[in-house]
Structure 1
Amino acid sequence: MGLPVRKNNASIPPTCPLSESMALLRGAWAPNVIWYLSAGPRRFGELRHDIPRISARVLSARLRELESRSLVTRRALDSSPPSAEYALTELGRELLPAIQALANVGEKVMARRAS
């Protein structure tokens, strides 16, 4: 027989701010794409070169999703063949310290495994 579930008396906001922030980063490779755009605008092919393990299909989907979440802007370039350049928005740049903190933890985990 299990224990009864107690009622939580904490005031709960209508939506959790942490969940809202994490929803911005959902999707495979989304933090990586944001990270590689942190140094400045990049074209699709440049991002494929930056993240060699990502497929063109997934990168394209991720860029569209990040654009729909207002984290990335897409600017069509007047070139032949047609090309586009992607850049972070202000909201996208606000996520960089959190992504950097996660990367720092990852470096520590990798260092522990190596020793």
Structure 2
Amino acid sequence: MKRKDFGCGPGCPVEVTLDLIDGKWKGVILFHLQDGTCRFGELKRKMPRITQRMLTKQLRALEDDGLIIRKVYPEVPPRVEYTLSEMGVRLRPVIDVLKAWGEDYRARQVSAAA
């Protein structure tokens, strides 16, 4: 059957979800925030290959999409914390399945190379 027969034409739920977690970093950010609230520097340390500019861009996009909450404390220097929103928490099963699939895929690649 064609994909559209399953109700997955333009704007389908799968497309909507993938648009929200697209790219290399959004899913990784959501994964790290599953452990709880993080400050910008903590996220940067957990993802050393992401640039500061890209992390800022991805955090803003996730906030704009309602998946994370950004809380700014009126301190000097400013303290900013990020946490999953209710909608972000609802993505936990998706992120967990992606993690499990990635672990399995990586293990299979290592086995095949051996």
TM-score, normalization: structure 1? Answer: 0.85
Structure 1 match to 2:29: 33
Unaligned runs of 5+ in 1: 1-7
Moved over 2 A (4+): 8-15
Structure 2 match to 1:87: 83
Q: Deviations over 1:35-70 (max 9, x none)?
A: 101111100000001111111000000000000000
2:101 is the alignment partner of 1:105: yes
Instruction: Give the counterpart of 1:76 among 72, 76, 81.
Output: 72
Structure 2 matches for 1:59-70, cutoff 5 A? 59-70=55-66
Q: Deviations over 1:73-114 (max 9, x none)?
A: 110023321121000001011111111111111111111122
- Alpha carbons of 1:41 and 1:14: their partners in 2 closer, same or farther (altered >3 Å)? same
- SS of 2:11's equivalent? coil
2:52 is the alignment partner of 1:56: yes
- Alpha carbons of 1:81 and 1:70: their partners in 2 closer, same or farther (altered >3 Å)? same
Alpha-carbon offset, residue 14 of structure 1: 7.3
Sequence identity (%): 37
Structure having the larger proportion of residues in helix: 2
TM-score, normalization: structure 2? Answer: 0.85
Structure 2 match to 1:3: none
- SS of 1:40's equivalent? coil
Once residues 16 and 106 of structure 2 are traced to their aligned partners in structure 1, the CA distance between those partners, rounded to angstroms, is 29
Root mean square deviation, CA, Å = 2.2
Once residues 28 and 14 of structure 1 are traced to their aligned partners in structure 2, the CA distance between those partners, rounded to angstroms, is 22
Q: State the number of aligned residues.
A: 109
Q: Are the equivalent residues in 2 in contact too, given 1:27–1:62 (CA < 8 A)?
A: no
One-letter amino acid matched to 2:25 = W
